[in-house]
Amino acid sequence: METKIFKPNQISEAAAAIKAGQLVAFPTETVYGLGADATNEAAVKQVYLAKGRPSDNPLIVHVTGQATVEQYAQPLSDKAQALIKAFWPGSLTLIFKLQPGALSPAVTGGLQTAAFRNPDNQVTLDLIKEAGVPLVGPSANTSGKPSPTLAKHVYHDLNGKIAGILDDGPTEVGVESTVLDMSTDVPTILRPGAVTEEELEAVIGTVRSTHHKVGATEVPKAPGMKYKHYAPNAQVYIVDHVTDWAAALKWAGQQDDAIGIMALDHTLSGLTLPQNAEFFSLGRDLPSASHRLFAGLRHFDLESPVKGILAQGFSDEGLGAAYMNRLNKSAGQVHFTKDQLL
């Protein structure tokens, strides 16, 4: 199969591929998603095959608004409607109980709930409208690898496996949406993202945040809860404190292989990079770091291969919760310690 690059003025062609049961990657404000007709079970199953994704890892359904959700979900609560009004279109995924038989188990992982999102990207909203169906849309990458923030990232992983990629340039947010479970008594954050716990509570009151680890035989309610995610080829080491960077750079210089460095521009002020290290800027603050995290991991995979990556950590608060959730998973919870020095 030849994977075609669709431009925004070719939405009709991309939609025709979707309607024909094919897979088309699409842009959102967070990362690129791998789209298929959510009402076409055969097409949905192809998403799992293309990504190499476990079939018990449920998919997020992308819609253009509340009316589509109401076709599939049980009646929405006042809190759910308030969240939709406040954050859609945007980086918030909401899990609802479904009407019986509303969506295929291929979409839901066999659960009686499904996750819905209204992305904040006009090109993709136009694609959904043109296709006339909601789209499943996990990140458009090989399962377990860093999420794609550029069309070329998608092409690298899925060329020849999908019909096309709708290219709308770089994504704006760079980390996936917040996933909030509205099927429980207390709304529960299953995956932190760009919409923070504080922002949610300002609209609906108390929410619960969970870092529940899903068991081997348990089906996760949301993506990213059970399986390894976001991992580049090189081992990532999280540098937790600015004061640790001098030791971290010393360790990098002791290695025989090339080492990648991912940090804010000012973090390494006054320090000298060893000759075997390459710097990838995370920008000037936490929002820019969140935006550039996956791009940096992809850079060291595709353009400048290294054997290890030192990446800056942040406080696990606000947007930092989303950043550290992704970074910890990409590193397999491995943090740099001074014990690594020779």
Annotated binding-site residue numbers: 30, 53, 57, 62, 113, 117, 139, 147, 177, 191, 230
Could you tell me the CA-to-CA distances from 247 to 42, 241, 291 in Å, in that order?
52, 11, 27
Give the single-character DSSP code of 167.
Answer: -
Annotated binding site for L-threonine: 30, 62, 117, 177
Q: Which two tokens stand for residue 114?
A: 């499904």
> CB neighbours (10 Å) of residue 216?
5
Peptide bond into 89 cis (omega under 30): yes
> CB neighbours (10 Å) of residue 303?
9
Instruction: Point out which residues pair with 180 in neighbouring strands.
Output: 94, 189
Q: What one-character-per-residue DSSP string does 75-95 give?
A: PPPHHHHHHHHHH-SSSEEEE
- Choose among 90, 325, 150: nearest CA to 230: 325
For 236, phi then psi, to 5°, come to -95, 135
Rounded to a whole number, what is the distance in angstroms from the first to the last CA of the chain? Answer: 50
- Choose among 4, 330, 326: nearest CA to 158: 4
Give the C-alpha separation, 323 to 286, whole Å: 8
Dmax of the chain from CA atoms? 62
> Are 136 and 107 contacting, i.e. CB atoms less than 8 angstroms apart?
yes
Could you tell me the CA-to-CA distances from 138 to 12, 36, 51, 58, 67 in Å, in that order?
22, 10, 9, 9, 22
For 215, phi then psi, to 5°, come to -70, 165
Annotated binding site for ATP: 53, 57, 113, 139, 147, 191, 230
